[in-house]
Amino acid sequence: MKTFKIKTVLLLAFISLSGITFSQPMGPPPKGKQAQRQEKKENIEAMKVAFITSKLDLTPEEAQKFWPVYNQFTEKMHELRKKRRQDEREAKQNFEEMTDKEAEQAIDNDLAVRQKELDLQKEYNTKFKTVLPLKKVAKLYHAEEQFKMVLLKKLKDKPER
């Protein structure tokens, strides 16, 4: 009888302690996919800013003039690319049911958005030349391509989860 009481008390104590232990949060709550995506985007943007800054060797005065213009450019370009990706997704879902007329319209829409991207690049090329020397504008385009390659390599080398 005495061992039964000891076992019962030990069992109840174990259950109580287990409940207390497991009821405590284990680290920060998991982030939603949207929050994780936003955090990754911010990290990539910070890496890009650091990369471009080092490659262009911007003076403080140049940086002060350049970054607001560049940020406007990337924001507008992001919106155009987002529209193009959305249009592409919609077209892919309907390829089999599309008429020739609808397919032609989808192609024309894609080319129109790509033309807007090119027009935006030309517009901002002119603006970049007003805030940076020409050699640094050329370095900017090269640095953007280099950054894409570095980022793709990091993603490729990243272990699968």
Judged on CB neighbours under 10 Å (0-12, 13-18, 19+), 49 is middle
pLDDT tens-digit readout, 82-124: 999 998 988 888 888 889 998 899 999 999 999 999 999 999 9
Task: Flag whether 14 is in a domain.
Answer: no
Nearest to 105 by CA among 85, 120, 90, 124: 90
Task: Flag whether 16 is in a domain.
Answer: no
Q: Quick one: pLDDT at residue 21?
A: 45
Domain containing 120: what range?
46-157
Give long-range contacts, CB 8 A cutoff, 24+ apart: 105-111: 110/84
Amino acid at 125: N
Task: Flag whether 134 is in a domain.
Answer: yes
Task: Flag whether 145 is in a domain.
Answer: yes
Return the DSSP state at 148.
H
Give the global pTM. 0.72
Task: Flag whether 32 is in a domain.
Answer: no
Q: Residue 28 and residue 47: Cα distance in Å, rounded? A: 25
Amino acid at 70: Y
Task: Flag whether 40 is in a domain.
Answer: no
Q: Quick one: pLDDT at residue 145?
A: 96
Task: Flag whether 5 is in a domain.
Answer: no
Q: Residue 146 and residue 128: Cα distance in Å, rounded? A: 19
Q: How many CA atoms lie within 13 A of 124 on its CB side?
A: 21
33-56 and 60-93 helices cross at what angle (nearest 10)? 140
Residues of the chain with pLDDT under 50: 4, 7-14, 17-23
Task: Flag whether 111 is in a domain.
Answer: yes
How many distinct structural domains can be found in the chain? 1
